[in-house]
């Protein structure tokens, strides 16, 4: 090291390029010290990227705010619309997309098409919509993420020299809804991998928002304080309640109750506005104005509502807003406020549009608050944090304050970029840590168990080779409301029987992991309608020493082997990773595949 130090030039003449070239043959520990953390908030309606160089002096978390806009112009904002438009093989994305065109919207929701749509929103057939797309949702998401990331990387690189950027190890973080299905999380990871981002850490959106909000507001917390984070975005509303475990040497919080989610995002307000216009002018006229002048009349109206009226509404009946339908040639209806292609919307009109979504969000918040009070009857709740695009609504905040008197309701100044910035904070040393989460559903396996006349009456039975009467039953190893420690490992034991003379191919096992959202997990499939296959895990045991298998003789005298192995699940912030062990030894070949 002394020789290396003597060979370094002075600060004034230091050549990063030469230094980078010199490091090519030096062990990677020299380059690993330099890092850039890049976090993506891939949203339903808007998406953003934040970043930080943690080893640079006075480095701060920043959002990318310079994006390509229409006609080559710049779009200066921390987020861009999650829009895609294909013209043959050419992709236009984000703010550069002509919003009047027939674009691809809501790609994120198509990664989890089985999410239940609230009754107050227009019904759609997600599977049918997916069939109309030019690519599969995962590939569409990958195209958008790649385009977004490539541009952001250019912007981030402007802060440092090209050589320094080459030295930096890139750490990627991607946010996902708290109650996103495991299949959707896996699809999100696949999209990121296709886009060239690997490896990626997933983080729950409310968790990221909590980290940013605590830092942004310098919120005064004490040990055992509790707070609820409500991330109200474009498509989903996610909620998680946390309790402060410790303040020193770093802030440690844990989830208090299982996270909840609803589909009451602000995209629903746009859909309800469209329904209100349909009620005002009729189906045929709405269809016509969507086509006349290349849809510019309708685009002007929906844009006004989305960007001006929604964020400005305060909830007062005396408020008035004017929605223009230029060149639409609509018939006047003065009694309902429609004159000269302009609709005068009253506070009452807007309350009707907001009402079911606000009611849904208040219910979700109230459920979390009540659960916390039940578990901590003497301690109460310190605050409610509202983040996300819809979370920045003044009207929503006032409604929450009325519904939850005595609890402080807070909105960070940049609620829109809170998730991306918080996701970066999660990777910084000495940042706040979420030490444990709550299981939101049961996880288990289906296997043969000894038949019980009490537990298994009426279920189909089979005879085991050793003469024991058996029945197929679930064994649940993770249950709703379980505390799941950070990086906790859960083992799912399996065993198989193989006839003497088995082939190598018979040592490739495919096992199913099941999930269930019932309050009490069932023993049999017949006792529940919510049991679903979570994923299939393929384990290759062909390289396992055969002496690990137990040889036995069946009642008929034929030999068979019992193979014991464990599916090992590691629980991360928002993700499960799998491995397989036989006799305590980890196998290399394990693959998990999720339902379509």
> Where do the domains of the chain lie?
28-203, 216-253+365-433, 267-354, 442-594
pLDDT tens digits for range 428-483: 887 888 999 999 999 999 988 999 999 999 999 999 888 899 999 999 999 999 99
Q: Which helix (H) or strand (E) holds 145?
A: helix 137-157
CB 384: neighbour CB atoms within 10 A?
A: 24
Alpha-carbon span 58 to 294, nearest angstrom: 50
State both tokens at 42: 């891939």
What average pLDDT does this structure show over 71-80?
Answer: 85
CB 198: neighbour CB atoms within 10 A?
A: 11
pLDDT tens digits for range 22-59: 444 444 443 457 899 999 999 988 999 999 999 888 88
Closest CA to 99 of 396, 316, 268, 304: 304
Is residue 204 a contact partner of residue 241, using CB atoms and an 8 Å limit?
A: no
Is residue 347 a contact partner of residue 317, using CB atoms and an 8 Å limit?
A: yes
State both tokens at 50: 């934040």
Q: Long-range contact list for 115-122, CB < 8 A, 24+ apart?
A: 115/181, 115/236, 115/263, 116/263, 117/263, 118/262, 118/263, 118/264, 118/268, 118/356, 118/360, 120/268, 120/272, 120/356, 120/357, 120/360, 121/263, 121/268, 121/271, 121/272, 122/271, 122/274, 122/275
- Distances 302 to 110, 184, 324 between C-alpha atoms, Å: 22, 30, 9
Residues pairing with 538 in the sheet? 510, 591
State both tokens at 178: 């708290």
Check residue 124 and give its pLDDT. Answer: 54
Alpha-carbon span 368 to 438, nearest angstrom: 13
Alpha-carbon span 55 to 380, nearest angstrom: 39
Backbone torsions φ then ψ of 529, nearest 5 degrees: -105, -5
pTM of the model: 0.83
Residues pairing with 253 in the sheet? 244, 434
| Those residues with Cβ within 8 angstroms of residue 538's Cβ, 6 or more apart along the chain or in another chain | 508, 509, 510, 589, 590, 591, 592, 593
Check residue 24 and give its pLDDT. Answer: 45
Check residue 6 and give its pLDDT. Answer: 35
Domain 28-203 shares a fold with domain 216-253+365-433: yes
SS3 category, 127: helix
Mean pLDDT across the chain, nearest whole number? 87
pLDDT band of 132, cuts 50, 70, 90: confident
SS3 category, 557: coil
Is residue 81 a contact partner of residue 95, using CB atoms and an 8 Å limit?
A: yes
CB neighbour class for 479 (10 Å; exposed up to 12, middle 13-18, buried from 19): middle
| Those residues with Cβ within 8 angstroms of residue 119's Cβ, 6 or more apart along the chain or in another chain | none
Closest CA to 274 of 293, 259, 295: 295
Closest CA to 107 of 44, 187, 47: 44
Q: What percent of the chain has pLDDT over 70?
A: 91
pLDDT tens digits for range 326-348: 999 999 999 999 999 999 999 99
pLDDT band of 120, cuts 50, 70, 90: low
What average pLDDT does this structure show over 133-147?
Answer: 94
State the DSSP string of 39-93.
EEE--SSEEEEEEE-TTSTT---EE--EEE-GGG-EEESS-EE-EEEEETTEEEE
Locus of tokens 């050549």:
15
Query: What architecture is domain 216-253+365-433?
Result: 2-Layer Sandwich (3.30)
pLDDT above 90 (res 520) = yes
Domain 28-203 sits in which CATH superfamily? ATPase, nucleotide binding domain (3.30.420.40)
Alpha-carbon span 421 to 413, nearest angstrom: 13
Q: Which helix (H) or strand (E) holds 445?
A: strand 442-450
Q: Which helix (H) or strand (E) holds 205?
A: helix 205-216
- Distances 359 to 118, 375, 403, 411, 467 between C-alpha atoms, Å: 12, 24, 10, 19, 58
State the DSSP string of 420-437.
HHHHHHTTSTT--EEEEE
What average pLDDT does this structure show over 267-285?
Answer: 95
pLDDT tens digits for range 482-491: 999 988 999 9
Query: Judging by DSSP bridges, how do beta strands 169-176 and 200-204 pair with one another?
Result: parallel
CB 82: neighbour CB atoms within 10 A?
A: 26
Q: What percent of the chain has pLDDT over 90?
A: 62
DSSP letter assigned to residue 294: G
State both tokens at 105: 């919207």
Is residue 410 a contact partner of residue 215, using CB atoms and an 8 Å limit?
A: no
Closest CA to 122 of 229, 242, 267, 334: 267
Alpha-carbon span 332 to 343, nearest angstrom: 9
Closest CA to 261 of 202, 180, 207: 180
């Amino acid at each position: 090291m002394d020789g290396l130090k003597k060979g370094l030039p002075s600060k004034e003449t230091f050549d990063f390029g030469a230094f980078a070239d010199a490091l090519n043959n030096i062990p990677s520990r020299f380059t690993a010290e330099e890092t850039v953390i890049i976090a993506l908030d891939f949203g339903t309606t808007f998406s953003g990227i934040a970043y930080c160089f943690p080893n640079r002096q006075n480095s701060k978390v920043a959002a990318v705010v310079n994006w390509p806009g229409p006609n080559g112009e710049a779009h200066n904002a921390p987020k861009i619309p999650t829009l895609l438009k294909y013209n043959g093989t050419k992709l236009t994305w984000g703010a550069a997309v002509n919003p009047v065109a027939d674009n691809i919207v809501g790609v994120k929701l198509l990664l989890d098409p089985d999410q239940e749509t609230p009754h107050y929103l227009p019904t759609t057939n997600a599977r049918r919509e997916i069939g109309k797309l030019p690519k599969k949702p995962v590939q569409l998401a990958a195209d958008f993420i790649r385009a977004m990331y490539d541009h952001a990387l250019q912007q981030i690189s402007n802060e440092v020299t090209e050589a320094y950027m080459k030295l930096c190890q890139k750490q990627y973080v991607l946010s996902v809804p708290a109650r996103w299905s495991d299949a959707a999380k896996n699809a999100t990871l696949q999209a990121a991998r296709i886009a060239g981002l690997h490896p990626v850490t997933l983080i729950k959106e409310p968790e990221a928002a909590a980290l940013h909000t605590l830092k942004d507001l310098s919120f005064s917390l004490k040990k055992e304080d509790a707070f609820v984070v409500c991330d109200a975005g474009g498509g989903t509303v996610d909620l998680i309640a946390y309790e402060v475990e410790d303040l020193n040497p770093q802030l440690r919080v844990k989830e208090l109750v299982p996270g909840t989610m609803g589909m009451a995002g602000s995209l629903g307000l746009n859909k309800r506005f469209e329904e209100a216009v349909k009620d005002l002018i009729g189906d045929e006229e709405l269809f016509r104005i969507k086509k006349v002048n290349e849809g510019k009349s309708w685009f002007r109206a929906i844009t006004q509502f989305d960007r001006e009226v929604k964020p400005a509404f305060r909830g007062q009946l005396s408020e008035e807003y004017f929605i223009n339908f230029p060149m639409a040639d609509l018939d006047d209806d003065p009694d309902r406020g429609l004159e000269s292609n302009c609709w005068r919307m009253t506070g009452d009109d807007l309350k009707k549009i907001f009402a079911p979504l606000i009611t849904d969000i208040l219910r979700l918040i109230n459920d979390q608050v009540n659960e916390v009070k039940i578990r901590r009857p003497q301690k109460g709740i310190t605050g409610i944090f509202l983040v996300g695009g819809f979370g920045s609504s003044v009207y929503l905040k006032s409604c929450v304050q009325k519904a939850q008197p005595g609890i402080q309701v807070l909105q960070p100044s940049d609620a829109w970029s809170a998730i991306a910035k918080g996701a970066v904070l999660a990777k910084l040393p000495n940042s706040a840590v979420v030490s444990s989460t709550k299981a939101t559903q049961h996880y288990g396996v289906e296997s043969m168990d000894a038949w019980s006349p009490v537990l298994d009456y009426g279920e189909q039975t089979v005879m085991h080779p050793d003469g024991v009467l058996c029945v197929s039953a679930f064994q649940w190893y993770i249950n709703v409301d379980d505390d799941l420690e950070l990086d906790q490992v859960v083992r799912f034991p399996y065993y198989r029987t193989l006839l003497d003379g088995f082939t190598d191919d018979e040592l490739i096992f495919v096992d199913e992991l099941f999930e269930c959202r019932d309050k009490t997990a069932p023993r049999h499939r017949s006792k529940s309608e919510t049991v679903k296959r979570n994923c299939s895990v393929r384990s290759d045991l062909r390289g396992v020493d055969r002496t690990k298998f137990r040889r036995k003789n069946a009642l008929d005298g034929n030999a068979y082997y019992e193979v014991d192995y464990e599916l090992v699940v590691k629980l991360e912030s928002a993700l499960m990773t799998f491995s397989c062990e036989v006799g305590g030894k980890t196998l290399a070949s394990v693959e998990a595949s999720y339902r379509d």
